[in-house]
Amino acid sequence: MTARSRLLRPGVVRAVSALGILAALALAGWAGRAWWESRLPGTYDVMDYGQPDYGGGPHVAHAHERISVATLHGPRGGTPDLQKTLTAARSEIRLASGRRVDVLAFDGRVPGPELRVREGGLVAVTLVNRDVRPGVSIHWHGVDVPNAEDGVSGVTQNAVPPGGRYTYRFRARQVGTFWYHSHQSSAKQVSRGLYGAFVVVPARKAAAALDLTVAAHRLRGSDVLGTSDRLQRRAVAPGTRVRLRLVNTDDSPRRFTLAGAPFRVVAIDGGDLRSPTAIAGQLLEVPAGSRFDVTFTMPPTPVTLQLVGTAAGIAFSRDGRIDVAAPNTSRVFDPAAYGAPNAARVPRKFDRSFRVDIGSRIAFRDGGIGKQWTMNDRVHPDVPMLVVRKGDWVKLTLTSDTRALHPMHLHGHHMLVLSRNGQAVQSPWWVDTVNLAKGDRYEVAFHATNPGLWMLHCHNLPHAADGLSLHLVYEGVHTPFRVGGRANNHPE
């Protein structure tokens, strides 16, 4: 007998075992209860779960609300300047390499048709769903539309079922590069092709002679620019003013190089940058969901845009035959110290200040256990709900403590980047997506002028599907729509 077992008399052993069993039962009881309580009903109102956070401002009514999001729609009358029907359907397309891929597409194309409208123009787009289950919607990414036009199924509308249709009407007030995509089962539907570009051109200013939208995507395993997974060649006369609208419709950041001419980054997320200077040999890293607009004047020699790490690119040259090698650089363009400071007038004092800390931990969610994303240590859908009043100036601090990148996208508003990791930025710039890496801390400001119930979610869409999503709600607003249910609404 060892010394240890001699100490454990039978009585002690029994007592210890009994305690162990009790502890195990208690743990099982706790886990069972946590599991049971984490299960979500088949249908629910996202606002019933949100934990109201008033950001240090006055508490405002959010129970027994009077304003339905359905009433916050765009102009119903008036002749549209852009009228378009987009038909969503299962489809097959052929990439430049010849590879055929099964997709979900608007009008049988990926990206869907580019929609272009003049600033101030009235947009009327009718979505027709031919056969995409379980329904489709259209969200106008980066466009601060009235809430009912925001296209989030289960929040601002019901998903449009196969055979159904829905019309979006709004005025295009912001100039810039935006995109549209389904906000129903987004993680699956966007990745499979339900997206397209939406461009608003200035009412008066002349456009560049060559104005090209370039959407980067990984389509069923192929890296594409538009529909091309190869280097495309274009003939462009020297002296031509070129504007490239780089759109990242993917779940992770995409890097571009532009070789052969100095270029300027003239806009990010649709917001013009002030006094952009000419640069060269820098990587342009476009966060998921974001857009960078770059301009250059075509020289007599070739200019090549390349999607880094892929065969996709565009070679511009006088005869449309030659290209130039990508610069060997690891320097990433940083908007924080580029151009002149933005003239945006942001008050020194904010009406509300919110903080959202992104983390992860093992927890139950909807009857499953695993590593869950957390926001202020809470697991979806019991996450903070940011409550504001129309007219508030809001400061939002976003931090992340996880290894994954989180491009946090706010619907219906643009945010001015004030500081990054404790340093005030030299040239604050407007974004609709803040890309958070581990350890990052961003302070952004926005003006709450667009009443409604808005999502703030990770645009790495599988992360949103796994619960990295919360809401911003205005005083008195409620939604008649429900997640799940007969309409099969699945916003993420």
DSSP state of 331: P
Least separation in angstroms between CB 183 and Cu ion = 16
Q: Rule CB under 5 A: which of 337-376 touch Cu ion?
A: none
Separation of alpha carbons 38 and 48, rounded Å: 14
Q: Which ranges constitute the DSSP H helices of 154-271?
A: 186-191
Closest approach of Cu ion to the CB of residue 364, in Å:
20
CB of 383 to Cu ion, least distance (A): 14
Of the pair 342, 433, the CB lying nearest Cu ion is at: 433
Closer residue to Cu ion (CB): 149 or 492: 492
Handedness of CA 177, 182, 187, 190 (dihedral sign): negative
* 3-class secondary-structure state, position 460: coil
Please state the closest distance from residue 252 (CB atom) to Cu ion, in A: 9
Q: How far is the CB of 26 from Cu ion (least distance, A)?
A: 35
Number of residues that bind Cu ion (CB under 5 A): 5
Distances (CA, A) of 473 to 22, 251, 386: 45, 26, 6
Q: Binding segment for Cu ion among 20-28, 65-73, 258-266, 450-458 (CB under 5 A)?
A: 450-458
Q: Using CB under 5 A, which residues numbered 324 to 343 contact Cu ion?
A: none
Give 245's contacts (C-beta < 8 A, 6+ positions apart). 177, 197, 199, 211, 212, 213, 214, 291, 293
Name the residue nearer to Cu ion (CB basis): 249 or 317: 249
Site residues for Cu ion, window 405-444 (CB under 5 A)? Answer: 406
Q: Which of 360, 372, 434, 359 is nearest to 400 (CA)?
A: 359
The minimum distance between CB 375 and Cu ion, in angstroms, equals: 11
The residue type at 203 = A
116, containing H or E segment:
strand 112-118
From residue 451 to residue 490, what is the string marking binding to Cu ion with x (rule CB under 5 A)? -------x-x--x----x----------------------
**What minimum distance in Å lies between the beta carbon of 433 and Cu ion?**
11
Give whichever of 245 and 463 is closer to Cu ion, judged by the CB atom: 463
Distance separating alpha carbons of residues 331 and 333, to the nearest angstrom: 7
Helix (H, G, I), strand (E, B) or coil at 148: helix
Nearest residue (CB) to Cu ion, 352 versus 406: 406
Q: Where does 204-278 show beta strands of DSSP type E?
A: 210-219, 222-225, 231-235, 241-248, 254-259, 264-268, 271-272
Which lies closer to Cu ion via its Cβ, residue 460 or residue 488? 460
321-330 contacts at long range (C-beta below 8 A, 24 or more positions apart): 321/233, 323/231, 323/233, 324/259, 324/260, 325/259, 326/257, 326/259, 327/257, 327/259, 327/280, 327/281, 329/257, 329/281, 329/282, 329/283, 330/283
| C-beta of 103 vs 468, nearer to Cu ion | 468
190 three-state secondary structure = helix
- In the complex with Cu ion, the residue whose CB is nearer, 183 or 264, is 183
For Cu ion, what does the binding mask look like between residues 391 and 410, x meaning CB under 5 A? ---------------x----
Q: Please, what is the minimum distance in Å from the beta carbon of residue 291 to Cu ion?
A: 19
Residue count of the chain, please give it.
492
Q: Which is nearer to Cu ion, 122 or 472 (CB)?
A: 472
**Could you list the residues that contact Cu ion (CB under 5 A)?**
406, 458, 460, 463, 468
